[in-house]
């Protein structure tokens, strides 16, 4: 990380409160550094904060809200309120449920939260000190990464299914604090979102070769219509048994841990819970899979195998918690929802692959931006450093969806 930096007074005040909260010495040494590299975060300013005294040390990662507006849409403060509520209310309730059920290998794949302030600052454990790191954004997911992530989402989704099944009133009460920011978006922002996303999709079709890509181009209007019909990047379609999902599942919101080789991850932590909401678990899986797997046609062909890995772990976890998965979420429903809802991952790939393949120095800053206007821009996430690679991956995805009748 970079050298020590200057920070705002409200951040210093917040850290002083953390020092008192955890009974550290008031003269503890505090070092502030930049939390993320350029291009690693879009909606936050981040700091790494090391606090040390004679008793112990805390290594924190601070997320601080930037000045973003949504004309005609929800206040940006709500995304921080959502994430704070997740860490301070939902995570403790989920962990207590696991303890009650005696599940020792359940979902614990989120960093510890040390506190928040003014719905604008969140202090999390700095996972880099535990050996976790972000993957390169040009990340090509191998089978080991995909299986680990699918199993981790299975553990997370399992708690939602079982808690909702066994304690419906408590579950409903707990979930009252979650705001579905997509469903609550205003008409104007939804209009701009659809228009902006359609522009990105049409830009892809305009760059295809009329001869080599005839199979895809013949279905271009059908693809646009199907993605628009589903809500493009919203994924708000009704499903059989909606549960809490993460909702923003690209590789930049995950940190992996390795021992010997970065081919074989041993653990993963899930980050960024700002747009957590209620939907089909398929949305989490498809978002991750279709933004990281399209680099390999071989990997795309194994989607059914990965879904079996997910469902086997989901079943194992829910059985430990004392519920019956066949009643809550039969395998037939998972496959049906993948057929209908996996296009969410396809729609997200049009935008996310631009962020993954873009040069760090070209990544935009959203500080002071009206996102309602920004959504009109086809270069919202910057220009990709390799347009050929972007087009290759999106071709693979388009062929995959057409050949499997997922769209």
Count of Cβ atoms closer than 10 Å to residue 118 Cβ: 12
pLDDT score of 243: 94
360: left (phi over 0), alpha (psi -120 to 50) or beta: alpha
The answer to whether 302 and 107 are in contact (CB under 8 A) is no
Distance CA 257, CA 212 (A): 41
198: left (phi over 0), alpha (psi -120 to 50) or beta: alpha
pTM (two decimals): 0.91
Cα–Cα nearest to 254, from 148, 364, 120, 386: 148
Distance CA 107, CA 158 (A): 9
pLDDT, one tens digit for every residue, the chain (407 residues):
456 788 899 999 999 999 999 988 888 899 999 887 655 555 678 999 999 987 788 999 999 987 655 555 555 567 789 999 999 999 999 999 999 999 999 999 999 999 999 888 999 999 999 999 998 877 788 999 999 999 999 999 999 999 999 999 999 999 999 987 766 555 555 666 677 778 888 889 999 999 999 999 999 999 988 887 765 445 555 788 999 999 999 999 999 999 888 889 999 999 999 989 999 999 999 999 999 988 899 999 999 999 999 999 999 999 999 999 999 999 999 999 999 899 999 988 998 898 888 766 555 555 545 555 555 555 555 555 568 999 999 999 999 999 999 98
Which residues fall within 8 angstroms of residue 283, CB to CB, at 6 or more apart?
235, 245, 247, 341, 344, 345
Cα separations in angstroms, 369 against 91, 188, 191, 287, 374: 31, 16, 18, 25, 7
- 65 - beta bridge partners? 44
Distance CA 62, CA 393 (A): 34
- 50 - beta bridge partners? 31, 59
Q: Please name the residue ranges forming H helices in 87-127.
A: 91-101
Distance CA 375, CA 196 (A): 5
pLDDT score of 220: 93
Distance CA 279, CA 180 (A): 10
Residue corresponding to tokens 């993320």: 36
Which residues fall within 8 angstroms of residue 170, CB to CB, at 6 or more apart?
163
Cα separations in angstroms, 305 against 84, 311, 320: 35, 10, 23
For domain 132-403, which CATH number applies: 3.30.70, 3.40.109, 3.90.1200, 3.10.20?
3.90.1200
Q: Half-sphere exposure (CA, 13 Å, Cβ side) for 146?
A: 25
- 58 - beta bridge partners? 51
Using DSSP bridges, classify how beta strands 132-133 and 265-270 pair: parallel, antiparallel or unpaired. unpaired
- Tokens encoding 394: 């999106």
- Tokens encoding 210: 């009329």
Distance CA 222, CA 147 (A): 31
Cα–Cα nearest to 172, from 274, 93, 112: 93
- Tokens encoding 392: 């290759």
Which residues fall within 8 angstroms of residue 31, CB to CB, at 6 or more apart?
4, 49, 50
pLDDT score of 54: 75
Distance CA 138, CA 133 (A): 14
């Amino acid at each position: 990380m970079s050298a020590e930096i200057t920070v705002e007074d409200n951040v210093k005040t917040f850290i002083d409160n953390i020092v008192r909260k955890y009974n550290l010495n008031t003269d503890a040494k505090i070092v502030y550094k930049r939390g993320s590299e350029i291009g690693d975060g879009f909606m936050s300013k981040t700091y790494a904060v090391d606090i040390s005294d004679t008793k112990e040390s805390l290594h924190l990662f601070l997320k601080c809200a930037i000045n973003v507006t949504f004309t005609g849409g929800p206040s940006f403060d709500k995304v921080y309120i959502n994430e704070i509520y997740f860490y301070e209310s939902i995570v403790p309730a989920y962990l207590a449920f696991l303890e009650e059920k005696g599940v020792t290998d359940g979902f614990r794949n989120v960093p510890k939260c040390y506190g928040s302030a003014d719905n604008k600052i969140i202090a999390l454990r700095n996972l880099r000190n535990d050996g976790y790191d972000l993957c390169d954004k040009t990340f090509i997911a191998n089978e080991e990464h995909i299986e680990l992530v699918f199993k981790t989402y299975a553990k997370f989704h399992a708690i939602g299914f079982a808690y909702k099944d066994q304690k419906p009133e408590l579950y409903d009460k707990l979930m009252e604090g979650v705001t579905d920011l997509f469903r609550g978006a205003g008409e104007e922002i939804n209009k701009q979102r659809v228009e902006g996303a359609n522009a990105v999709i049409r830009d892809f079709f305009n760059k295809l070769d009329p001869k080599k890509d005839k199979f895809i181009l013949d279905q271009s209007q059908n693809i646009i219509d199907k993605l628009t019909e589903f809500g493009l990047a919203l994924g708000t379609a009704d499903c059989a048994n909606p549960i809490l999902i993460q909702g923003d599942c690209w590789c930049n919101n995950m940190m992996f841990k390795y021992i010997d080789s970065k081919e074989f991850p041993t653990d993963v932590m899930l980050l960024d819970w700002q747009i957590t909401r209620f939907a089909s678990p398929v949305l989490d899986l498809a978002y991750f899979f279709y933004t990281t797997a399209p680099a390999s046609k071989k990997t795309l062909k194994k989607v059914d195998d990965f879904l079996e890995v997910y469902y086997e772990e989901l079943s194992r976890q829910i059985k430990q918690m004392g519920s019956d998965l066949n009643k809550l979420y039969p395998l037939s429903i998972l496959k049906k929802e993948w057929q209908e809802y996996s296009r969410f991952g396809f729609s997200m790939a049009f935008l996310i692959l631009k962020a993954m393949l873009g040069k760090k120095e070209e990544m935009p800053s959203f500080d002071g931006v009206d996102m309602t206007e920004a959504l009109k821009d086809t270069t919202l996430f910057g220009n990709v450093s390799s347009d050929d690679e972007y087009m290759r991956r999106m071709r693979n995805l388009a062929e995959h969806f057409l050949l499997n009748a997922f769209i």
